[in-house]
Amino acid sequence: MTNITFVRFDLNCKGSQDACISTSQHNEDLQHPITIKGSQLYLVNNNSKVWFHRPNISTINPSQCIDMNCDGLKKNLITDLDGSFLGSQGSIISQSEWGWGSQQMGIKLNQNHI
């Protein structure tokens, strides 16, 4: 993304947070990495810059050999090449360890092997 202007991202009229950049909740297999440079932000709340959806646990179905959720919503990368989006050069990565150790997520830690 080059030379993009984001304007008025904050709480919307329904009381939920807007997002300049968001994952697609309906694409659980893959989210493309994003690089940004030359962006401008006007009246953008810092909490409204990025939203990463959490993996959908309803897709886990051991009877169909699906023992954990897909990686698409756990493996995301946004890189600000010039600091125009984040305030300084850097990257945002999703929290891929979210849900680790939860049997509900299909992953159970063996406490004896830690």
The residue ranges of every structural domain in the chain are 5-113
Element holding 78 (H helix, E strand): strand 77-80
Q: What is the pLDDT of residue 12?
A: 73
- Model-wide pTM > 0.75: no
Share of the chain above pLDDT 90, in %: 31
Tokens 């990368």 belong to residue: 77
Residues 6+ apart with CB under 8 A from 56: 25, 28, 69, 73
**Mean pLDDT estimate for the chain:** 78
62 pLDDT tier (thresholds 50, 70, 90):
low
Helices and strands in the chain: count of H runs, count of E runs: 0, 7
Residue 5 in this model has a pLDDT that exceeds 90: yes
Q: What is the pLDDT of residue 67?
A: 53
Residue 43 in this model has a pLDDT that exceeds 50: yes
